[in-house]
Amino acid sequence: EVQLVESGGGLVQRGGSLRLSCAASGFTFSTYAMNWVRQVPGKGLEWVSYIGDSGSTIYYADSVKGRFTISRDNAKNSLYLEMNSLRAEDTAVYSCARVLNGGEEAFDLWGHGTMVTVSS
C-alpha cells in the first residue's frame, strides 16, 4: 500500500527538541521530493520545509529557519524533521507530504500526521 506514516511527536517543554520521522512505503521514495506541513487542530495548513529527491535541495519557512532541519535517508525510505528551540507556536500536527512526480509541484500523498505539543 502506498502510504506515509509519521511518528515522533509528543509533549515537550519550550526550548526543547524533538525528531519527527516519516516512513514511506509502496513507492520508490528516492525519486520523490518531500515536504513537512503543519496544522494547528481546527486551523489551516502551513508549509514548513521541502527537500528534493536526493536531499541536496532544501527550503524552510521563515518561521522555522535556523531551528528546524529536514533530512532524508533514501536507503531507509524515511524523511525526518529535527526540531530545536521549540516554541509554543510550534504546537501543531506535523504531516509529511509527497510532491507529485514530473515536476508538477503539488502534494499528492499525505500522512495522517503526528501531534507536537510545546508546553510553556
Partner 1 sequence: DIVMTQTPLSSPVTLGQPASISCRSSQSLVHSDGNTYLSWLQQRPGQPPRLLIYKLSNRFSGVPDRFTGSGAGTDFTLKISRVEAEDVGVYYCMQATQFPFTFGPGTKVDIK
Interface ranges with partner 1 (CB under 8 A): 35, 44-47, 50, 59-62, 95, 97, 100, 104-108, 110-113
Nearer of residues 15 and 37 to partner 1, judged by Cβ: 37
The nearest distance, CB 49 to partner 1, in angstroms, is 9
Nearer of residues 1 and 104 to partner 1, judged by Cβ: 104
The residues near 116 (Cβ < 8 Å, ≥ 6 apart) are 9, 10, 12, 18, 20, 38, 83, 86, 90, 91, 92, 93, 94
89: alpha, beta or left? (left if phi > 0; alpha if psi -120 to 50): alpha
The nearest distance, CB 107 to partner 1, in angstroms, is 6
